Amino acid sequence: MADTSTPNATSGTWALEARDLGKRYRRGWALRDCSFRIPAGRICGLVGPNGAGKSTLLGLATRQVRPSTGGLQVFGVPVDDPGVLPKIAFLGQDKPLFKRFTVAETLRMGAELNPDWDAAAAHRIVRSGNVPMDARVGTLSGGQRTRLAFALAFGKRPELLLLDEPMADLDPLARDEMSTLLMAEAVERGTTVVMSSHMLTELEDMCDYLLVVAEGRIRMAGDADALVPAHALVTGVSHDGALPPELDHHTVIEVRFLGRQFHAMIRPKGPLPADWEIAEPSLEEVLLSHLRSPDAPSLYTQGARVDAEGTQAA
């Protein structure tokens, strides 16, 4: 199953590996005790409510933010080593570009600042969107600007592409176009992608790996294919408004009462009573219940967790 695509402990095959990673700002911890791994070649969704620490995590991985505790490795290279820079590309939420530069000058900037610049790929991406080369960036539409930012990111030939809500400000057509472009380029080169997004359907379509963050901690990490089957959506009869004792054997993520009935998102740890109605949840349902219940125990699929010593936890 999912385990076949999870690499062994050889660190080179992990695109991103965090150990006890934490970032403290003056107002408190933005991210705390984060230990996780993302295998190379995957499309990883970074999910969490606003202020959960997603942007901080992406900032740490792109050297914009320095960790307060712990460390992060990108393809086995510590993130504080400048050698990480050519390996990663970052596309921020507002996709900053020099507004007075022309498209050609923006691409030249990519060529000037990146040793492994792939001019052919960058030009192909820009041309396929019919973005005029001599247009000033400030005059481009949102979709065209995103396309140019993508061209800059892919022209860098990154091994790891980090995206912070890349499609948030695009119209549905441009969003569809950019998703297709992203998937095509990433698959063609085997680029590992980590993207944060609020669009759960977008994540369901594109991502095969998930990192769920809430209140600065990792809630779930692992294969999308393995995380969902670990959950069950059960419906049963409540006992005078209280949960049935059978539920205590399982990990309860979220419970809701509807009249005499209860609905619960659980992680079954054994056989479930026959009189309960059991359904397999969708990824969206699993994510939503975790986001609603940040105190639920966290879940890592095999390989996704790193303990303090760096050995693989079960």
Partner 1 sequence: MSATLTDKPTGTGTSRRLLRGLPWLVVRQHRIALACVLGLTLLTAIWIVYERHNLVQLLDAKGWPEKDAGQPLENNRGYGYITSIINGLPLILAVFIGAPLIAGDQESGTAQLVTTQSVSRRQWLIAKLGLAYTLALVSGVVLSALFTWWWKPYRSLFPSEWIDGLIFDNTGPVLPAFLLFLTAAGVTIGVLVRRVLPAMVGAFLFTAMTTLFVWDEIRVRIGVTHMFTYPLNSDLPERFNDAYEADRWVGSADGTLYNWGICAEATEKAQNSCIKEHGIVNNVIEYLDYSQMGTMQWTAAGILLAGTALLTAFTLWWTSRRPL
Tokens of 226: 């393995």
- Tell me how far CA of residue 180 lies from CA of 14, 29, 174, 183, 273, in angstroms: 25, 36, 10, 5, 44
Among 12, 51, 76, 96, binds partner 1 (CB under 8 A): 96
Contact indicator for 195, 166 with CB cutoff of 8 Å = yes
Q: Which stretch binds partner 1 (CB under 8 A): 106-114, 197-205, 268-276, 282-290?
A: 106-114
Backbone phi, then psi, for 12, in 5-degree steps? -60, -25
End-to-end CA separation in angstroms for the chain: 16
Using CB under 8 A as the binding rule, whether residue 28 contacts partner 1 is answered as: no
Among 2, 40, 77, 109, binds partner 1 (CB under 8 A): 109
Among 102, 179, 298, 302, binds partner 1 (CB under 8 A): 102
Using CB under 8 A as the binding rule, whether residue 66 contacts partner 1 is answered as: yes
Using CB under 8 A as the binding rule, whether residue 255 contacts partner 1 is answered as: no
Using CB under 8 A as the binding rule, whether residue 64 contacts partner 1 is answered as: yes
For residues 31 and 24, give the distance between their C-alpha atoms in angstroms, rounded to a whole number.
7
Q: Which stretch binds partner 1 (CB under 8 A): 32-40, 42-50, 102-110, 191-199?
A: 102-110
Using CB under 8 A as the binding rule, whether residue 89 contacts partner 1 is answered as: yes
Q: Is 207 exposed, middle or buried (0-12, 13-18, 19+ CB in 10 A)?
A: buried
Among 24, 123, 189, 267, binds partner 1 (CB under 8 A): 123
For residues 85 and 83, give the distance between their C-alpha atoms in angstroms, rounded to a whole number.
5
Contact indicator for 56, 31 with CB cutoff of 8 Å = yes
Using CB under 8 A as the binding rule, whether residue 105 contacts partner 1 is answered as: yes
* Contacts with 66 (C-beta within 8 Å, 6 or more apart), sequence order: 60, 80
Among 43, 74, 107, 296, binds partner 1 (CB under 8 A): 107
Residues 143 to 162 in contact with partner 1, rule: CB under 8 A = 156
Closer residue to partner 1, CB minimum distance, 102 or 238: 102
Chain residues that interact with partner 1, rule: CB under 8 A = 59, 62-66, 82, 85-86, 88-90, 92, 94, 96-102, 104-105, 107-116, 119-120, 123, 133-134, 156
